[in-house]
Amino acid sequence: MADRQATIGAFVLGGIILGLGAIIFFGNFRLFQPIETAAVVFQGSISGLSVGAPVTFRGVRVGAVERITIQYEPKNKTAYIPVILRLEPDRVRVAGQAGPSVGVDMPSLIARGLRAELRTQSFVTGQSLIDLDIDPDSPAVLHPDVTALIEIPTRQSAFQRVTEQLQDLPLRELVGNANAMLISTRNLADKLDEDIPPLVASLKATSESVRVTSDGAQQTVGEANKAITDLQARLDTTLDRIGVLIANSDAQVLQRSTDLHTLLTSANQSVQQTHELLNNLNSLTSSRGETRANLEATLRDLAATAASLRGFASDVEHNPQLLLTGRRP
């Protein structure tokens, strides 16, 4: 009986030892390693984050979520969600040290830009985790009244930034504008369905008319070119004839001018001979004789004739065509 109880006791003790080993091996317990705690304070929703969720640094696990609480501040009427992290410094090595870095300078890392970000661990299960990263450009917003632990500032994830941008969008106005645009597009399509067939028919008729007009215009242009060619030939012939006529006129005028000069010379000689004759007759006749009166009348007629000849000669010099046409009454 005593042996049986000892066997049962040994079996139970062995089971307890195996259970503790499994918990220590597969769980998050670190009995022989240093543990450092820090806090991350969220103000928005942390849906999907639970106790035991992993804490990573650029995807490498460096701890786990130990506790999640809610703290309400009546002064500013704001609810904060401080999340306590259990970090494992043995996973972090500092350059220049041979062994694990036991004393990680957390405030120095925070001052250099250590930030915490809530990320989705699985889109299927909806679980979330906390990822740490160095981001000096992100502002460090701390909450000393919420937690007394070392606080790692938070930064918005890309999903949260996109969500906020989507929330800021005037979705109702966009939907209204989209509906109005769809209605306008539908009305335009209906209007086009009504107007396009007559327009196509009109275009076809216009095209046919333009084609016919084009053929007629080409024929008209051809006839006009032919008429212009004939007219140009006739003009050339006319110009040639006008040139010949001008040359003949010049020759005739030159010839008539020579004849007129000869006539004027002869008339001048006749006048001189008449004056000489009158002088002789004047000397021969008396001042009261009938012959002298006749001679004076003759001289007057000759003078009138000479004046007429001079006038005619002057007119011919100014207008040689009088020799051809004569004076008009």
**Parallel/antiparallel/unpaired status of strands 60-68 and 71-73:** unpaired
Task: Round to whole Å and give the CA distance between 174 and 178.
Answer: 6
pLDDT digits (tens, 9 = 90+) for 114-157: 999 998 888 888 899 999 999 988 888 888 888 889 899 998 77
The pLDDT, as a whole number, for residue 24 is 55
Q: What is the pTM of this model?
A: 0.42
Q: For residue 182, give every residue at least 6 positions away whose Cβ sits within 8 Å of its Cβ, in sequence order, or none.
A: none
Task: Measure Cα distances from 95 to 34, 78, 100, 106, 134 in Å.
Answer: 19, 42, 10, 16, 17
Task: Round to whole Å and give the CA distance between 111 and 153.
Answer: 10
If pLDDT is split at 50, 70 and 90, which confidence band does 329 have? Answer: low
Domains detected in the chain? 28-156 (no CATH), 246-325 (1.10.287)
Mean pLDDT of the chain: 76
pLDDT digits (tens, 9 = 90+) for 254-264: 776 777 677 77
pLDDT digits (tens, 9 = 90+) for 68-89: 999 988 888 889 999 999 988 7
Q: Which of 76, 88, 86, 89 is nearest to 143 (CA)?
A: 76
